[in-house]
A = this chain, B = another copy of it.
Amino acid sequence: MGITKTDLFTTEQNELAKVAKVLAHPARVAILEYLIQANTCINGDLVGSLGLAQATISQHLRELKEVGIIQGTIEGVSVCYCIDPVRWEEIQNLFSGLFQRYSNSEGGDCC
């Protein structure tokens, strides 16, 4: 099939999965790390830094933007991208919520 049965799961589970999917490509991780260092960048910077074609970078940027983790502002001829701090923290909490839920409940170990 290739289609996910989202109706079987909670909104939170679907949301976490959706965000994880955006992080599930090394190019998108690399873009975020580039932005952490550089604070802002344009598409062309990334084409030079990563080894992917312009169209491919643009596609990855769109996915990052769609989930809200970055934002783009038109700046003359180019588009300036940066991390959205509010959404970043929101997503951070989404993940740490899952991870801490287990860490805090460590009881009997395993089978």
| Residues of A in contact with B (beta carbons under 8 Å apart) | 4-6, 8-10, 13-14, 16-18, 20-21, 23-30, 32-33, 36, 39-40, 50-52, 71-73, 75, 80-85, 88-89, 91-92, 95-96, 98-99, 101-103, 105-111
Contacts and interface: CB of A to CB of B under 8 A. Distances in A.
Contacts of A91: 99
A81 B8 contact: no
Contact of A26 (B9, B26, B28, B52): B9
Copies assembled: 2
A57 to B, nearest CB: 11
Nearest to A81: B111
B17 A23 contact: yes
